[in-house]
A and B are shown apart, each in its own frame.
Chain A
């Protein structure tokens, strides 16, 4: 299985900050990574697919980058509604695997 390792596990930030979350894959997955946002009591929501493509309806302050084994999710100008947990997921091979999550909390 491909292991997905996110860092940090949690972070504290203020409204207006820029936030960067990193995901490292245990094997080369090309650009086959997706990012999700999950709020308490809700299902995850797709933000970014194929490393850098913005899902329809997702604000442009979210962006993704990277390739092979190193990837980042960035949120520019953090908004109150962005405080949530974020997960990466590889779609390169089966079984599909997720990172352990990064919780973005209010400072």
Chain B
């Protein structure tokens, strides 16, 4: 069973760059057939999809964030990462990584999630 685990600093100052990593265990990120996503949830609010990456490095970003974000993959470590530039208080949120199948019956659904990591932006 694939498991995901987010890691990264919990506190940032405005204008800094947020860097988070999601480690995949119980499976190989490079096996193909899955998209690897980042999703965030502002405190007490709903879910916002940030973007995803395929193991080849192909990405799709939410247009609402695409000018400030980058998602990358390191297949040798079974990790994918999120960078958000020039953070503000509005980027304070719980950040989740999640897996989506491309070809399985659950295609399009986020069937595996990490536990999430809280990021706070404050001066």
Binding site for B on A (CB under 8 A): 1, 32, 34, 36, 42-46, 49-50, 53, 55, 87, 89, 91-92, 94-101
| A49 with B105: CB separation less than 8 A | yes
Chain B residues, Cβ within 8 Å of A99: 46
Q: Which of B48, B105, B113, B115 contacts A53 (CB 8 A)?
A: B105
| A98 with B115: CB separation less than 8 A | no
Beyond A36-B110, A50-B106, A94-B60, 8 additional contacts (C-beta under 8 Å) are A34-B110, A43-B96, A43-B114, A46-B110, A91-B100, A95-B51, A95-B64, A98-B46
A sample of 26 cross-chain residue pairs with beta-carbon separation below 8 angstroms, ordered by A number, consists of: A1-B63, A34-B110, A43-B96, A43-B115, A44-B47, A44-B110, A44-B113, A49-B105, A49-B106, A49-B109, A50-B105, A53-B106, A55-B106, A87-B46, A89-B109, A91-B107, A94-B60, A96-B49, A97-B49, A98-B46, A98-B48, A98-B49, A99-B46, A100-B46, A101-B46, A101-B47
| A95 with B62: CB separation less than 8 A | yes
* CB contact list, B45-73 vs A, under 8 A: 46-49, 51, 60, 62-64
CA distance A54 to B62 in the complex (A): 28
The 8 closest A-B pairs by CB, nearest first: A91-B108, A43-B113, A34-B109, A49-B109, A96-B49, A98-B47, A95-B62, A49-B106
The number of A-B residue pairs with CB atoms under 8 Å apart is 64
| B109 with A91: CB separation less than 8 A | yes
CB of B60 to closest CB in A, whole Å: 6
CB of B49 to closest CB in A, whole Å: 4
Chain A residues, Cβ within 8 Å of B64: 95
Chain A residues, Cβ within 8 Å of B114: 43
